[in-house]
């Protein structure tokens, strides 16, 4: 059935507005951290996969890094394994790490790869252990107490931080017209597996590949002012000022610091966008308004 004239004009206007952005970002790399509602809602999962395929078709190189905390928690509960958290991080003993690898490297990663492939793309799933993609070290958590002369070191098991990213593995895939889908599991010098926060992995991958953009999909509409207005077009200095005056606090702080570190280490812009909006990634890249908060170096 043919489109009516008004609808056809709207479609043409949208495509026309996107052209300058397509021209600008062709050949560039965009790292997307995928998680939250966008990963759990069937309609949003399909729209995300189509976004990745479209980006690749117009010459942009998307790299997906995904989370999977709720899925890990669900399986641990079914296995009657109790989860403990320190500073918001899951204490990961050997038994829990086996579940993390099963869920992230198997179930979640393969679902995302399958979705992208169903939409006509070519995706390949990886963990940080494949090709030594993500070299990791054990994360030390310090407990600061007025009663202690020095901070107490808390052992939270197989929780790691990124030491290095093997860019050659990613370059090989992107040159072959493949979309890499990365589970945030790293490998230590001793061969041990480490569970790493997906935001941190996405940020470090973006820095390593000198990405044009780092996009963090979240369950909020973006960084908000004290009055509740979504802030965007921020410089790194403005973000630091908002942290200093308490506007940015609580659960948003780690995500903002990840975005901030990326732009301070070579990524052109970081975006914190609303993953509850269908086609949020395309709307952020290809429209003037976007759907979240943009942070740049200056």
Q: What 3-state class would DSSP assign to 156? A: coil
Q: How does pLDDT run across 46-104, given as a tens digit for each residue? A: 999 999 999 999 999 999 999 998 888 899 999 998 888 877 778 888 899 999 999 99
Whether 20 is covered by a domain: the verdict is: no
Instruction: Supply the pLDDT for residue 176.
Output: 93
Q: What is the CATH number of the domain that holds 72?
A: 3.40.1160.10
Residue 11: which residues within 8 A CB-CB, separation 6 or more?
A: 3
**With bands split at pLDDT 50, 70 and 90, how would you rate the model's confidence at 6?**
confident
Whether 104 is covered by a domain: the verdict is: yes
Task: Look at residue 185 and tell me whether its pLDDT is greater than 80.
Answer: yes
Task: State what percent of residues in the chain have pLDDT above 70.
Answer: 93
Instruction: Write the DSSP symbol of residue 7.
Output: H
117 among annotated binding-site residues: no
Whether 6 is covered by a domain: the verdict is: no
| φ, ψ of residue 231 in degrees (nearest 5) | -100, 140
Residue 136: which residues within 8 A CB-CB, separation 6 or more?
A: 128, 160, 161, 162, 163, 186, 187, 188, 194, 196
Looking at the 3D structure of the chain, how many domains does it have?
1
50 among annotated binding-site residues: no
What is the distance between the alpha carbons of residues 139 and 132, in angstroms, rounded to a whole number? 18
Neighbours of 183 (CB within 10 A): 33
Please name the residue ranges forming H helices in the chain.
5-25, 37-40, 42-57, 69-78, 94-100, 109-118, 167-175, 198-208, 236-244, 252-264, 280-286
**Contact at 8 Å (CB) between 274 and 36?**
no
Instruction: Supply the pLDDT for residue 98.
Output: 92
By C-alpha distance, which of 44, 34, 93, 40 is closest to 71? 40
Whether 22 is covered by a domain: the verdict is: no
> Residues 129, 130, 133, 136: what is their CA dihedral angle, to the nearest 10 degrees?
10
Average pLDDT, the chain: 88
135 among annotated binding-site residues: no
What is the distance between the alpha carbons of residues 191 and 184, in angstroms, rounded to a whole number? 15
Beta bridge partners of residue 50, listed in sequence order? none
**With bands split at pLDDT 50, 70 and 90, how would you rate the model's confidence at 206?**
very high
131 among annotated binding-site residues: no
Instruction: Supply the pLDDT for residue 189.
Output: 92
> Residues 36, 38, 43, 46: what is their CA dihedral angle, to the nearest 10 degrees?
-130
Task: Look at residue 145 and tell me whether its pLDDT is greater than 70.
Answer: no
Whether 67 is covered by a domain: the verdict is: yes
Whether 121 is covered by a domain: the verdict is: yes
Q: What 3-state class would DSSP assign to 211? A: coil
Whether 4 is covered by a domain: the verdict is: no
87: left (phi over 0), alpha (psi -120 to 50) or beta: left
**Contact at 8 Å (CB) between 212 and 29?**
yes
Neighbours of 63 (CB within 10 A): 23
Range of the domain at 144: 27-296
170: left (phi over 0), alpha (psi -120 to 50) or beta: alpha
By C-alpha distance, which of 110, 111, 123 is closest to 45? 111
Task: Look at residue 280 and tell me whether its pLDDT is greater than 60.
Answer: yes
Q: How does pLDDT run across 246-278, given as a tens digit for each residue? A: 888 777 888 889 999 999 999 999 999 988 888
Instruction: Supply the pLDDT for residue 114.
Output: 97
Whether 254 is covered by a domain: the verdict is: yes
List the Cα angle 234/239/241 in 5-degree steps: 125
């Amino acid at each position: 059935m043919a489109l009516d004239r008004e609808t056809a004009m709207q479609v043409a206007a949208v495509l026309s507005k996107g052209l300058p952005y397509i021209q600008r970002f062709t050949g560039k790399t965009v790292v997307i951290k995928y998680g939250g509602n966008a990963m759990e809602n069937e309609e949003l999962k399909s729209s995300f996969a189509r976004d990745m395929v479209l980006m690749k078709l117009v010459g942009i190189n998307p790299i997906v890094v995904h989370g999977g905390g709720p899925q890990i928690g669900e399986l641990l509960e079914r296995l009657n394994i109790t989860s403990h958290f320190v500073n918001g991080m899951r204490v990961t003993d050997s038994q829990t790490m086996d579940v993390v690898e099963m869920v992230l490297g198997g179930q979640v990663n393969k679902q995302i790869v399958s979705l992208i492939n169903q939409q006509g793309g070519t995706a390949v799933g990886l963990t940080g252990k494949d090709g030594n993609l993500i070299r990791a070290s054990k994360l030390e958590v310090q407990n600061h107490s007025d009663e202690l002369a020095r901070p107490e070191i808390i052992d939270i098991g197989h929780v790691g931080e990124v030491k290095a990213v093997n860019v050659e593995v990613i370059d090989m895939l992107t040159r072959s017209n493949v979309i890499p889908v990365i589970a945030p599991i790293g490998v230590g010098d001793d061969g041990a597996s480490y569970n790493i926060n997906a935001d941190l992995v996405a940020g470090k991958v973006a820095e390593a590949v000198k990405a044009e953009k780092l996009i963090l999909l979240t369950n909020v509409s973006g960084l908000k002012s004290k009055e509740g207005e979504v802030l965007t077009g921020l410089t790194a200095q403005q973000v630091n000022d908002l942290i200093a005056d308490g506007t940015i606090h609580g659960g948003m702080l780690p995500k903002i610091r990840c975005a901030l570190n990326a732009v301070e280490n070579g990524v052109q812009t970081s975006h914190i966008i609303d993953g509850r909006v269908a086609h949020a990634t395309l709307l952020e890249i290809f429209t003037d308004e976007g759907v979240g908060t943009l942070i740049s170096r200056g």
